[in-house]
Amino acid sequence: MDTAKVTIDPAFRIGPADRRLFGSFVEHMGRCVYGGVFEPGHPTADPLGLRGDVLALTRELGVSVVRYPGGNFVSGYRWEDGIGPTGDRPRRLDLAWKSVETNAFGLDEFMVWARAAGVEPMMAVNLGTRGVQEACDLLEYANHPGGTHLSDLRRKHGAEDPYDIRLWCLGNELDGPWQVGHKTADEYGRLAAETARAMKMVDPRVSLVACGSSNRGMPTFAAWEATVLEHTYEHVDYISAHTYYDPTDGDRASILASAVDMDAFITEVVATADQVAAKQRRTRRLKISFDEWNVWYQQGLPADLDRDWAEAPALIEDTFTATDAVVVGDLLITLLRHADRVGVACQAQLANVIAPIRTVTGGPAWRQSIFHPFALTARHARGTVLRTEPTGPSHDTARYGRVPSVDTVAVHDEETGALAVFAVNRGDTDIQLQLDLRALPGLVAHEHLSIAAGDATNTAETPDRVTPRPLSPPTAGLVRLEAASWNLIRFAHPHEER
Ligand code: AHR
């Protein structure tokens, strides 16, 4: 069997494992909202219509931040359509998803949901068809204490206290030709800068995200970020990144190596942002908001959109395999490894739409395969992320060339002494991983959970076919990583095992 080695030392600090790395995304798209988080009349729904089963799974998933209301949807959205008496809300065409938006769910419902789920809201403003004024109006409605038309309207709608939403996205994917209101980098950069300046006048405590590229393969990638940041650097706190990895072509070696691409993407966005900082003589460093990432079988999208206008049609309800769970686990390892420069990350999306949680309208909700690595990472990546540099075998992939077979990250909880090691074997043979823990004496492994790649999926009928498998905890720091598997190995001091 091949061997790999990694040294884990508390001196190799990257930064705190920020809870905001475990974010998710609720878009008015398909059945994410309607039939997902919100379904009046569902047996588990509360009087407002919030599905209790989805809320419970959201809490179990360990989601920290939830981005709302889009996505492509936000670029044609009028936020004020979604407030006030439900019966008075207009039905509108949603151009992004060729759907009819009823507006039965809006900001006020989302905030009740976010509180019940225990998540921080992250709002996006429409910079596709709208601009500075509408963004400021929305912020005033949400965050101003009272005594103005919009803040008093919020109070009239039942929210006496301001929502105090701190995280705001300045539009969505405006670099993409598919986006309603698509812009050049200069057009967007100017608008984002002006919107940011005005929003900070309304509420200086907000943190703002400028749109980066929709993915690393965009023809404008890097030039877009450079131009947008030339305009916005002093006004914003984050630059966004989005990426989806498509397993449709069946090239398992490549899809398992997707994190190699995400890693390079992060490195390149950081370099681009730092170059603008250097040029503008700025010492403040921006972080990345990786506010859309996931696996997505994209071949289904054109057929999904080739339909008549419908309310909440089932869109891109991908059923994920165990292999996809291994990929998601590795993408989380990558986000953690960049915890010094990635400040927010949102898996897209939360329910039904390429989501860890699936539902049947009027029926059950269940955990997809990708739910498990997310939930376990969110639960156990607590403390300080430690840099690990595994040495060991590598293998060839069609998409990314030769890649290291083993990817790892470690998170050390300095308070309890607990250590969580996340490790993926991307190759197709078992590998013996040797952990050098001499810098953390006295730790004992008490849990090893693993998900091995494969075609198995979780469905309404078989919701637990893919779950993490407990393996014997390793002794002497020797961990067997099964071929193509995601692994969590937890260590603690013997008196503190849990
Ligand atoms: O998450 C699905 C869509 O993917 C989002 O609406 C958009 O921002 C991205 O292209």
pTM value is: 0.98
CA of 71 to the centre of ligand 1 (A): 5
State residue 495's pLDDT score.
Answer: 75
Nearest Cα residue to atom 2 of ligand 1:
71
**Helices 107-117 & 52-61, crossing angle to 10 degrees?**
60
CA of 145 to the centre of ligand 1 (A): 33
Probe residue for ligand 1, chosen from 292, 317, 350 as the CB with the greatest number of ligand atoms within 8 Å: 292
Nearest Cα residue to atom 7 of ligand 1:
71
CA of 25 to the centre of ligand 1 (A): 10
Tell me what the mean pLDDT of segment 203-213 comes to: 98
Tell me what the mean pLDDT of segment 283-301 comes to: 95
Q: Which of 173, 225, 317, 447 is catalytic?
A: 173
pLDDT surpasses 90 at 143: yes
State residue 496's pLDDT score.
Answer: 67
109 is catalytic: no
Characterize the bridge pairing of strands 65-68 and 120-125: parallel
Question: From the CB of 27, is ligand 1 less than 6 Å away?
Answer: yes
187 is catalytic: no
pLDDT surpasses 90 at 494: no
Q: Which residues have C-beta within 8 Å of that of residue 271, sequence separation ≥ 6?
A: none
d(Cα 363, Cα 293) in Å, to the nearest integer? 28
- CA nearest neighbour of 157 among 219, 108, 227: 108
Torsion of CA 221, 227, 232, 233, to 10 degrees: 80
Question: From the CB of 212, is ligand 1 less than 6 Å away?
Answer: no
State residue 498's pLDDT score.
Answer: 55
The token duo for 195 is 């919107």
In order of start, what are the domains of the chain with their CATH numbers? 2-10+385-496 (2.60.40.1180), 17-382 (3.20.20.80)
Question: From the CB of 240, is ligand 1 less than 6 Å away?
Answer: no
pLDDT surpasses 90 at 465: yes
Mean of pLDDT over the chain:
97
CA of 302 to the centre of ligand 1 (A): 14
Q: Which of 39, 292, 317, 447 is catalytic?
A: 292
Q: Are 53 and 364 in contact (CB under 8 A)?
A: yes
- CA nearest neighbour of 451 among 333, 326, 332: 326
Kindly give the number of the ligand 1 atom that is closest to the alpha carbon of 316. 2
Nearest Cα residue to atom 6 of ligand 1:
71
Tell me what the mean pLDDT of segment 469-493 comes to: 96
pLDDT surpasses 90 at 307: no
pLDDT surpasses 90 at 36: yes
CA of 26 to the centre of ligand 1 (A): 11
State residue 303's pLDDT score.
Answer: 80
DSSP string, 92-147: EEETTTTEEE--SS-HHHHHHHHHHHT-EEEEEE--SS--HHHHHHHHHHHH--SS
Q: Are 56 and 357 in contact (CB under 8 A)?
A: no
pLDDT cut 90: percent of the chain above it: 96
pLDDT digits (tens, 9 = 90+) for 97-140: 999 999 999 999 999 999 999 999 999 999 999 999 999 999 99
DSSP string, 144-206: --SSSHHHHHHHHTT--S-----EEEE-S-TTSTTSTT---HHHHHHHHHHHHHHHHHH-TT-
d(Cα 498, Cα 496) in Å, to the nearest integer? 6
